[in-house]
Copies of this chain bind each other. A is one copy, B any other.
Amino acid sequence: MDNKQDILELLRSVARGQTSPEEALLSLKEEPFEDLDYAKIDFHRSVRQGAAEVIYGAGKTPEQIIGIVKTMGERGCRNILVTRIGQEAADELSAVVPVDYHPIPRLAIAFPEERPGRGNIVVATGGTSDMAVAEEAALTAEAMGNKVTRLYDVGVAGLHRLLSNLDVLMSARCVVAVAGMEGALASVVGGLVDCPVIAVPTSVGYGASFGGLSALLSMLNSCASGCSVVNIDNGFGAGYLASMINQMESIKEDKK
């Protein structure tokens, strides 16, 4: 059961009540993950979600990262994302497998392959210093086959920079709003557009920004409807969710 079509068929059968979820679970469990002792690599998410794979690089040794990536690559995974990986570990990795490394977001894409950019996701930032997180979001979304428009340094303290790009914002199917400090970007954008806004607080700032807490609370309290929030600096999570939302129509027929 290695390609997505088979699995979709199974899931639909579950949805129609023809297969019980338990039976489906058992079917899915054949070789569900490979056990590397220090990691249990899951191949289901890939097939189930058509998604790029992700490895959280922080706290893992280069050896562990290489082991996981190689195993995935052998199973046919492409565009495998390794987040929060330093230049040095990325160099070790790229000596073994093909890698695109992006130093600003410290993101490696292993076994990279071009994917067509569908729909339109706008990634906006409050300031220049939020770029690292924004690029993690944008590159994640691109690796998952989405068209991404970047709109950087449009913070609310200089509102005309944002208003001059109203057309860009309004053409989005989903906006990722990345901001540190007071995090007001999400609220203002949320009030201007009519699509979901994913707010990403960043740890950019000092003093009472308390490592991103200020932006996080601000975004959670956003008065604009249609906003939701991911963890501080979690560019990957925002890009992944934006892709999910942007590509909603492709499963419209399956779920109606």
Contacts and interface: CB of A to CB of B under 8 A. Distances in A.
Interface stretch (A71-79, A87-95, A105-113, A238-246): A238-246
Contact of A40 (B20, B54, B59, B158): B158
Interface residues of A, number: 116
Given A17-B167, A163-B21, A230-B228, A190 B157 contact: yes
Number of copies: 8
B256 A187 contact: no
Contacts of A163: 21-22, 25
Contact of A28 (B119, B129, B160): B160
A218 interface: yes
Contact of A119 (B198, B206, B255): B255
Interface of A: 11, 14-15, 17, 20-22, 24-26, 28-29, 32-33, 37-40, 42, 44-45, 48-49, 51, 54, 56, 58-60, 64, 84, 119-120, 126-129, 131, 152-161, 163-164, 166-167, 170-173, 180-184, 187-188, 190-192, 194-196, 198, 201, 203-234, 236-238, 240-241, 244-245, 248-249, 251-252, 255-256
